[in-house]
Amino acid sequence: MINWVFDVDGTLTPSRGKMDETFKDFFIEFASHQEVYLVTGSDHPKTVEQVGAEVTEAVNAVYNCSGNNVWSKGQEIIKSDWSIDDEVFDWLGQQLQASGFSLRTGNHIEERIGLVNFSVVGRNATIGERKLYVEYDNNYDERSSIAEAFNEKFFHKKLVAQVAGETGLDIMEIGCDKGQIVNYIQEPIYFFGDKMQRGGNDYPLRIMLGENSKWEEVDNWQQTYSILKKTVYN
């Protein structure tokens, strides 16, 4: 039997938005007949806010914070105790000051369970403000540049930065990314995500998949919905 694994933000929902109600009803029914898991860089409260408790409890398990915090049927079963040190925190603050993107909305360095999310524009940004940063990042490739610099500077600490979502970077210990879920979920796996390329936070799981598994890079939740409908109705 295939184990279906889904990223959340940009794959099941709009970026930082809520799941479409029609898609949600379909997905819950889909999960009732399949082995389904969610894997996301977001924490559990944010995931519940986006997809609803009815979805998080319909699936087999939710791998929050890139697998560093695991929930199943409303119960927390794994929780990492890692956190960043002052050197990393100060370096991220320097990148924030050095950015050519001037808008700041607050909550730029968010500590989660087992990872840290860094955002130049800030996680308090409105949809419009986020779009401004997306355009800036597309033009200047800022997040990838920060990630590359981080990975070079903090390799000795065994830390890694990955592009995540529309505006952020996820920072964690090497090996404590989405790729770690292959230790818990048996293959074959069919994995859906929107950041599958090198440097993206779905990439570590993609490259860990064996030859009997497959992956699908999607542009948005509508594409995921379309693929799943074809799977069910064909």
**pLDDT tens per residue, range 128-179:** 999 999 999 999 999 999 999 999 999 999 999 999 989 999 999 999 999 9
pLDDT above 80 (res 3): yes
Distances in whole angstroms, Cα of residue 203 to Cα of each of 147, 152, 198, 199: 14, 18, 6, 7
Instruction: Provide the residue ranges of all domains of the chain, joining segments of one domain with +.
Output: 3-79+177-233, 86-173
Cβ pair 166, 128 in contact under 8 A: no
The closest of 52, 12, 6, 41 to 169, measured between CA atoms, is 41
HSE of 200 in the Cβ direction (CA atoms, 13 Å)?
18
Arithmetic mean of pLDDT, 198-212: 94
d(CA 191, CA 216): 6
Q: So what's the architecture of 86-173 in CATH?
A: 2-Layer Sandwich (3.30)
The values of phi and psi at residue 230, to 5°, are: -65, -35
The fold of 3-79+177-233 is: Rossmann fold (3.40.50)
